[in-house]
């Protein structure tokens, strides 16, 4: 799936690098299991976003049911940390997660122009 971040400000901004992504139990909940690994097959580039423009990154999810040692639990969605930001966003999208942090379900690419 494509993960998009839109510049909602009034000035241009630069989006560069990888977001932090994990599954979460709810919009205020802690991450569940392992965070997304970085897919470095697409190079990091500076994406200049004018107000209203969006940058996107490829987010891949592997079905939790594929892993016998998963410790399957419900996740309400994704916790997302934009590059170079300590504040997170929550994307509601119910799915299954693994409580076993040794199982990695997510991978994320670098942001690119949408």
CA distance 66 to 64: 5
| Whether 77 contacts 34, CB under 8 Å | no
Tell me the pTM: 0.92
pLDDT digits (tens, 9 = 90+) for 10-61: 999 999 999 999 999 998 888 999 999 999 999 999 999 999 999 999 999 9
Report the number of distinct structural domains present in the chain: 1
For residue 24, the enclosing domain spans: 2-113
* CA atoms 67, 73, 76, 82: torsion sign: negative
């Amino acid at each position: 799936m494509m993960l998009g971040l839109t510049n909602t400000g009034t000035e241009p901004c630069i989006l560069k690098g990888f977001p932090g992504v994990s599954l979460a139990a709810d919009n205020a909940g802690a991450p569940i299991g392992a965070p997304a690994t970085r897919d470095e097959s697409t190079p990091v580039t500076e994406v200049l976003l004018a107000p209203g423009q969006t940058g996107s990154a490829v987010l891949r999810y592997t079905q939790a049911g594929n892993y016998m040692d998963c410790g399957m639990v419900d996740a309400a969605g994704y916790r997302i940390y934009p590059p170079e930001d300590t504040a997170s966003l929550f994307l509601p999208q119910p799915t299954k997660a693994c409580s076993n942090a040794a199982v990695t379900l997510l991978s994320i690419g670098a942001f690119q122009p949408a």
